[in-house]
Structure 1
Amino acid sequence: MNSIPSSEVLIIGAGPAGLMLANILGMYGRSVTVLEARDELIDYPRGVGLDDESLRTIQTVGLVDTVLPHTAPQHIMRLVNGSGKTIMINNPQTREFGWDRKHAFIQPEVDKALYAGLAQYPNINVHFGHLVEDVIEDAAGVTAIARVTNADGTETEHRFSAQYLVGCEGGKSPTRKRMGVSFEGDSPSTRWLVVDVDNDPLGTPNVFLGADPKRPYVSIGLPHAVRRWEFMLHDHEDESVVTSKEWVAEMLKDHVPDPHNLSYIRRRVFTHHGRVAGSFRKGRQLIAGDAAHLMPVWMGQGWNSGMRDATNLGWKLTSVLTGTAGEDILDTYTSERKDHAKAMVDLSMTLGSVIKITNPLAVAARDAASSVLNLFPSAKSYFSDMRFKPMPRYTAGVLADPTTQASGTAAAKLTSKLIPVKTANRKVSPVGVQFPQPRVNSQLDENLLLDDVIGNWWTVLVWGNDPKDVLPAHSIKALEALGAKLVALVPETQREWAQEHMSEDVLVLGDHTGAVKKWFDERPTPMIFLRPDRFVAGACLHQHGPATLQAILDSMGSAADHSPSKAQDSALAV
């Protein structure tokens, strides 16, 4: 038995969620050990859709330039009926978060980029061929017992200790089972055949969801000249038969001029699952990615949901490890992520049920309804702009209510009777949602994405004013202890003046497009407390700033007020 030097966090599973979480923790200077049962990363295609939210996280950890070559932006989806008629188009145009909303991608290549990114962090160690068979947890931490098969066939037991363990081992997660939490949902019996080929014989980009009652299908153009098809299988069709070249060629005869001359990457049968764990944390063990939720492929949200988990959890683990937050902040990982994961599962299941309709009368009704809806611009844009996709909105967690300044909660609407609120264009609160990523000018450069300028930790954004002029000294001291960056956003015409007259340690950014001013014009919240994951923890008028900040700190169980020297040391690490 070998004992390895301890680390702060153990991650089990070198899949996308585990790799991204390791990158985030590495970026914050934390020590991490990743244990993977396989001898190498999975090298066959799986996920094919990458959202703007995920790309924003990839941008944060500095890997966007290595990931983009394996993506195709503006991935348009067309839902077509059995006659090949388009009944719905999904083509969102927004770049709200700094990137196109939808990208196709080659998962093995992007996962490799995430793995390669870990090499820059000396405190991150990845061990392949380590099968974790048991975990011992006590008040001080966790110990994972892993079995390693040596080159000569003998086996060795290795023990790895850490303060926390995160299971990212997929849908059959042993960590989730050890935690004893439920995994509720459905696993429909419907099977699908997935076929990936090189040298795309069609060459058309984008996605076609074939709602054909005879046999629903999917056809997807991917980067690197890869084409994917998926076909729904009938109950009587045997797996050993449907994966043969002859059977696949028969399936593809209506899709490809010559289905017998293809370069196959894989032919594989799979079943969709729609499940969410009852809790994402128990004690010192947590779960992320498919270990926490499984969802059908229709919305392309499995990989992206794992990225959201890592983005939410990474800064919270860092906050606990550095003393800027109490351990209870880890419970907000479940309260913030579970409901959205379930919403994505439910939407994916619903879309799948629309595509899989085989009853002729139901098919006719669906196609007729879509034709009518397409006559109405508002209904048509609802689908085209992807507004049916539930965006994350946190109502309980690391938040402060924008009206009452209550800690740990945030109503979706502003209800204050103050004139600035009553007269605002939008009464929907920005608290609990992701802040947009506009382009701005700084003293050093122009037309920069916001996140590249403000860094990767807490930020206070104030429109048109110096944060130090509108917050009292005790609030500034608490923000310094938290390691927060103070930012003034001003019209580009005022940037030079602001740089001369505002505090030296306040970052001044110029709004040269007008997008930032428009955002603040429509919302009576000129002060934003931005979390490291780019979600808004608090938004308020200036005079509510101190109370809002204190509510946020209370929701973190923050140690910042009580141990400023420790928190300031922590800020240096991030």
Structure 2
Amino acid sequence: MAEMSAEVVDVIVVGCGPVGAIAANYLGLQGLRTLVIERDLSTFSIPRAFSCDDEAQRNFQAAGLEGELAVDLWPCKDMQYIDGAKRVLGTVPIHELDFGLSHPALSFFNQPQLEGVLRKGLERFPHAELRLGHELVSFTQDADFVTTQIQDRRTGRSREVRARYLLGCDGSHSTVRALMGVKMMGTSYEEPWIAISGTTSVPEPDFTYYVCDPQRPGFVTRCVYNEVRMDFLLQENERTEIMERQEVVEKLLAPFVDPKKVQLQRASVFTFQAKVAERWRDRRVFLLGDAAHVMPPFAGQGLCSGIRDAMNLSWKLALVSRGAAGDALLDTYERERHPHAVDMIKTTIALGKVLLARNRVVAFLRNALLKVLFQIPRTRRFMRNYEFKPKAFLSHGLIAGGQRRKGNVAEGDYFPQPQVALADGKVARLDDVSGRGFTVFTSADAPDTVRKSAEALAREVGGVWLRILPAERASEARAGDVVDSSGKLQAWFVQYQADAAILRPDRYVYGASQGAGIEQLREELRRFIHLPTAARAEEAPSRALLPSSA
């Protein structure tokens, strides 16, 4: 039975897993009236995703929830490649890696805890609402709205809700994607895996292993809250109903932890896919996370990729909703995110082929080669620094010139985030100083004409202008200056021979320039952003959600 009154919001988010929840938090921070619907009545109690990289942690910081999440993140210390006898083939000292983002290179978490923090974060916004036990039944679109039918699964009653935009964050079996008529393109892998999670009664020492054993390839780690996670590839003759039995699971645990000290939470067999949706947008409807792309788990990038989607799209929706940008800006979402997602899928497949060799001879040669590679300085650096991981940069989209040029160019680069000092001596991460909108940086010795243009541009986009001073000139710092104590920002400007840089809200570089070049960047940006009307993200919305009768 449908109710007659229609509700109107800015954005409907379908699905409140980690991707949907963080997208809703970003939208809440932007002041958009946001309705999140989730078919389940509570968070899924069994952990699934369990790792995030430094970029994802920077994006948690952007959601304003870093403090709440800090206790739920467990930085990885070392990652070791081991053979079937637990002999170490090579070690990656994860805790020593610094990729310039002021966050650990790899951290583990408990997904139910993470989802709980993200959902609680929505309580900060009177203009955002989460409705549990509700699911999307259908939607239609016109020139101005998406009109949805949303059903309360407890009562069976449905209600019409209209929104300017609809985000499908509802996972690999996405209802939104199905209603769009969009197919997933790629490969399904038939090899079964068993995923095991549990908690130990006493704290275990830190360990994270890639198990390079042709008999039982896998990944094993100790996580946050004494949790252990293990994924193992099954043999062809091993049946699901047998392998999920407790006594069999305990045998899999035994080489790494005492099974008697483990309280099992999950032991389930699964297969994985490497697929991408054939399109991510249909006018006012968008796909994010697993609804848009799924990948093997070997690089731990599935959730991280979904968080990148949410970060990329949210600020663009806000600008367009405020009339500060045209609809064409939203086309850059897929244009920017699709290539990186595809590259990440290709990397995880290649990594899997290396780590999951089943042939004994091939595995023996692989293990011998790994030991050698970790002894040679250049290849050790390649392995240690994860140089095989696709770099975060934009090749096309909202960047100067519309596409990244070849060579040593700044546009599309992912800007570093070091610790900086302020005029009063306080120390903070750069993003906490620059805010959530556009940021215009100038170097310490940029000419007055450049500084004036940068300051004017920052005002026009409702952003922030910051001058970067080297550590030896800290005494000159005043309001609007940051002291680059680490030298990383100075090095960035030297690398790109620039004295000004424009950062997008998602911390990608729109463009960098020297001298009068900032005026060209400014004029190019004006074609996309209607600068005088751009409101600050921190402004409160003028309207709140209509009361829910559900």
What is the count of residue pairs matched by the alignment?
537
Partner residue in 2 for 1:121 = 125
Residues 437 and 536, structure 2, Cα contact 8 Å, conserved in 1: no
Partner residue in 1 for 2:79 = 77
- In 2 relative to 1, CA 573–397 (structure 1 residues): closer, same or farther, beyond 3 Å? farther
Distance 2:205 2:330 in 1: 45
2:456 aligned with 1:485: no
- Alignment counterpart, residue 537 of structure 1, candidates 484, 493, 510: 510
The unaligned stretches of length 5 or more in structure 2 are 542-550
Counterpart amino acid of residue 39 in structure 2: A
Q: Output aligned runs, 1:195-214, within 5 Å.
A: 195-199=196-200, 203-214=204-215
Q: Output aligned runs, 1:399-414, within 5 Å.
A: 399-400=399-400, 407-413=401-407
Q: Output aligned runs, 1:181-220, within 5 Å.
A: 181-199=182-200, 203-220=204-221
Distance 1:79 1:440 in 2: 36
Q: Output aligned runs, 1:79-478, within 5 Å.
A: 79-92=81-94, 93-150=97-154, 154-199=155-200, 203-257=204-258, 259-260=259-260, 262-400=262-400, 407-413=401-407, 428-465=408-445, 469-470=449-450, 477-478=456-457
Counterpart amino acid of residue 457 in structure 1: G
Residues 10 and 32, structure 1, Cα contact 8 Å, conserved in 2: yes
Counterpart amino acid of residue 404 in structure 2: A
Residues 74 and 224, structure 2, Cα contact 8 Å, conserved in 1: yes
Distance 1:253 1:396 in 2: 49
Partner-residue secondary structure (3-state), 1:299: coil
2:487 aligned with 1:514: yes
Counterpart amino acid of residue 370 in structure 1: L
Partner-residue secondary structure (3-state), 1:209: strand
Distance 2:379 2:240 in 1: 40
Counterpart amino acid of residue 214 in structure 1: Q
- Alignment counterpart, residue 546 of structure 1, candidates 519, 523, 541: 519
- Alignment counterpart, residue 52 of structure 1, candidates 54, 60, 71: 54
Shift of 1:70: 1.0
487-496 or 91-100, which deviates more: 487-496
Distance 2:371 2:146 in 1: 57
- In 2 relative to 1, CA 471–181 (structure 1 residues): closer, same or farther, beyond 3 Å? farther
Shift of 1:166: 0.5
Partner residue in 2 for 1:424 = none
- Alignment counterpart, residue 530 of structure 2, candidates 521, 538, 559: 559
Partner-residue secondary structure (3-state), 1:162: strand
- In 2 relative to 1, CA 261–507 (structure 1 residues): closer, same or farther, beyond 3 Å? closer
Partner residue in 1 for 2:14 = 12
Residues 458 and 532, structure 1, Cα contact 8 Å, conserved in 2: yes
1:440-486 per-residue CA deviation (whole Å, 9 max, x = no partner) reads: 1112442211111111100100001578632666x755542311211
- In 2 relative to 1, CA 371–480 (structure 1 residues): closer, same or farther, beyond 3 Å? same
Partner residue in 1 for 2:499 = 526
Partner-residue secondary structure (3-state), 1:397: coil
Partner-residue secondary structure (3-state), 1:72: strand
The unaligned stretches of length 5 or more in structure 1 are 401-406, 414-427, 500-505
Shift of 1:434: 1.1
Residues 211 and 354, structure 1, Cα contact 8 Å, conserved in 2: no
Counterpart amino acid of residue 436 in structure 2: N
- Alignment counterpart, residue 497 of structure 1, candidates 476, 499, 510: 476
Counterpart amino acid of residue 84 in structure 1: K
- In 2 relative to 1, CA 467–12 (structure 1 residues): closer, same or farther, beyond 3 Å? farther
Partner residue in 2 for 1:425 = none
Counterpart amino acid of residue 131 in structure 1: E
TM-score under structure 1 length normalisation: 0.89
Partner-residue secondary structure (3-state), 1:451: helix
1:401-435 per-residue CA deviation (whole Å, 9 max, x = no partner) reads: xxxxxx3112142xxxxxxxxxxxxxx22221210
Residues 88 and 383, structure 1, Cα contact 8 Å, conserved in 2: no
Partner residue in 1 for 2:544 = none
- In 2 relative to 1, CA 295–87 (structure 1 residues): closer, same or farther, beyond 3 Å? same
- In 2 relative to 1, CA 286–214 (structure 1 residues): closer, same or farther, beyond 3 Å? same
- In 2 relative to 1, CA 4–120 (structure 1 residues): closer, same or farther, beyond 3 Å? farther
Partner-residue secondary structure (3-state), 1:538: strand
Partner residue in 1 for 2:548 = none
Residues 134 and 144, structure 1, Cα contact 8 Å, conserved in 2: yes
Distance 2:277 2:331 in 1: 14
Residues 176 and 291, structure 1, Cα contact 8 Å, conserved in 2: yes
What is the aligned-residue identity percentage? Answer: 29
Shift of 1:493: 4.1
Residues 200 and 226, structure 1, Cα contact 8 Å, conserved in 2: no
Residues 75 and 104, structure 1, Cα contact 8 Å, conserved in 2: no
- In 2 relative to 1, CA 57–253 (structure 1 residues): closer, same or farther, beyond 3 Å? closer
Residues 487 and 507, structure 1, Cα contact 8 Å, conserved in 2: yes
Distance 1:108 1:468 in 2: 52
Residues 437 and 537, structure 2, Cα contact 8 Å, conserved in 1: no
* Aligned-residue CA RMSD (Å): 2.1
Residues 213 and 358, structure 1, Cα contact 8 Å, conserved in 2: yes
Partner-residue secondary structure (3-state), 2:157: strand
Distance 1:161 1:111 in 2: 26
1:226-246 per-residue CA deviation (whole Å, 9 max, x = no partner) reads: 111222122332222211112
- In 2 relative to 1, CA 526–477 (structure 1 residues): closer, same or farther, beyond 3 Å? closer
1:284-317 per-residue CA deviation (whole Å, 9 max, x = no partner) reads: 0001111111111111111111111111111111
1:360-404 per-residue CA deviation (whole Å, 9 max, x = no partner) reads: 22112212322332231110111111121112211110100xxxx
Residues 80 and 90, structure 2, Cα contact 8 Å, conserved in 1: yes
- In 2 relative to 1, CA 409–95 (structure 1 residues): closer, same or farther, beyond 3 Å? closer
Counterpart amino acid of residue 73 in structure 2: T
Residues 446 and 499, structure 2, Cα contact 8 Å, conserved in 1: no
Residues 14 and 168, structure 1, Cα contact 8 Å, conserved in 2: yes
Partner-residue secondary structure (3-state), 1:184: strand
Distance 2:78 2:201 in 1: 17
- In 2 relative to 1, CA 67–571 (structure 1 residues): closer, same or farther, beyond 3 Å? closer
Distance 1:478 1:518 in 2: 24
Partner residue in 2 for 1:422 = none
